[in-house]
C-alpha cells in the first residue's frame, strides 16, 4: 500500500506522475523525486525551482533536502546556482 499527499495545487502534476510510477511497481524514492522535479521544472511557480525568485544580486539560488524513510539517509544542498533540479543532487 502507498500514498502521496500534496497540500499545494502546484504539486498535482508531480503527484500524478509519481503515483503512476508506484502503480507500475516503481520505488518510493523515484516517485518522490519525480513529483518534486515536476514542481522544480515549472517556470511559473515563483517560490521554487526554475521560476524561483532571485536574491538581492538577481541570482536564483535553490535549496533542497531528501531523506530516505527506510535507511534514514539524508542529503541536502543550499544556495545552489545553475542547476535545475536540486532535489536530485540532495537525493544522490
Range of the domain at 76: 9-91
Instruction: Confirm whether 60 is domain-assigned.
Output: yes
Instruction: Confirm whether 69 is domain-assigned.
Output: yes
Structure confidence at residue 76 (pLDDT) = 98
Structure confidence at residue 81 (pLDDT) = 93
pTM here is 0.88
Structure confidence at residue 2 (pLDDT) = 77
CB 21 within 8 Å of CB 30: yes
Residue with cell 502503480: 23
Instruction: Confirm whether 41 is domain-assigned.
Output: yes
Instruction: Confirm whether 47 is domain-assigned.
Output: yes
Give the SS3 label for residue 50: helix
Instruction: Confirm whether 36 is domain-assigned.
Output: yes
Instruction: Confirm whether 45 is domain-assigned.
Output: yes
Instruction: Confirm whether 1 is domain-assigned.
Output: no
Q: What percent of the chain has pLDDT over 70?
A: 100
Q: What is the DSSP letter of 67?
A: E
Convert the pLDDT of each residue in 58-77 to its tens digit.
999 999 999 999 999 999 99
Convert the pLDDT of each residue in 39-60 to its tens digit.
999 988 888 888 889 999 999 9
Structure confidence at residue 66 (pLDDT) = 97
Structure confidence at residue 46 (pLDDT) = 84
Structural domains counted in the chain: 1
Instruction: Confirm whether 4 is domain-assigned.
Output: no
Amino acid at each position: 500500500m502507498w500514498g502521496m499527499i500534496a497540500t499545494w495545487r502546484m504539486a498535482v502534476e508531480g503527484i500524478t506522475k509519481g503515483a503512476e510510477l508506484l502503480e507500475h511497481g516503481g520505488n518510493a524514492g523515484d516517485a518522490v523525486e519525480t513529483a518534486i522535479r515536476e514542481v522544480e521544472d515549472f517556470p511559473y511557480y515563483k517560490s521554487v525551482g526554475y521560476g524561483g525568485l532571485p536574491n538581492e544580486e538577481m541570482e536564483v539560488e535553490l535549496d533542497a533536502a531528501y531523506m530516505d524513510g527506510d535507511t534514514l539517509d539524508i542529503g541536502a544542498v543550499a544556495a545552489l546556482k545553475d542547476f535545475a533540479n536540486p532535489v536530485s543532487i540532495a537525493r544522490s
